[in-house]
Amino acid sequence: MGNKISWKDAAKLGGTKPNDSIFARPNKYGYRINIAHPEIRPLFERYCEKVGEKILSDAQRHHFEDLIYTMLARREKLEQSNTDRPSDGRPGAEADTERRINVPLHDCNGQKVQK
């Protein structure tokens, strides 16, 4: 047999790059969300617990992804409403706006996700 190589070396030789995005690369299954992403993984595991499955069916996975897209749309809408507000003229009001934009990630039940 040949020499063993690490996964990192194999990935380099194969020309693959890690995906740091929450969005999956195009794939034959039609999945759109990268469940290995550190912000998505806790949500995915919680969803699996909620449906009582360790391995999801395609329909369950697509439902999970729809929930993530709904959550992202809600977050984007909230960010837009926060950035559209005019400053009230107080010193540090811009800093308040900055704080409001960094909304913590919530799961499909509306509970805050711990990082």
Residue 93 counted as domain residue: no
Is residue 74 in a domain?
Answer: yes
| Domain-embedded: residue 3 | no
What is the average per-residue pLDDT within 60-87?
88
Domain that holds residue 27: 20-84+98-115
| Residue 6 · residue 15 · CB < 8 Å | no
In this prediction, residue 83 has a pLDDT band, given cuts at 50, 70 and 90, of confident
Asked if residue 62 belongs to a domain, the reply is: yes
Is residue 10 in some structural domain?
no
Residue 34 is assigned to a structural domain of this protein? yes
Confidence of residue 46 (pLDDT cuts 50, 70, 90): very high
Total domain count for the chain? 1
Q: Residue 102 domain-assigned? A: yes
Residue 87: band (very low, low, confident or very high) from pLDDT cuts 50, 70, 90: low
pLDDT band at 100 (very low <50, low <70, confident <90, very high): very low
The answer as to whether 11 is a domain residue is: no
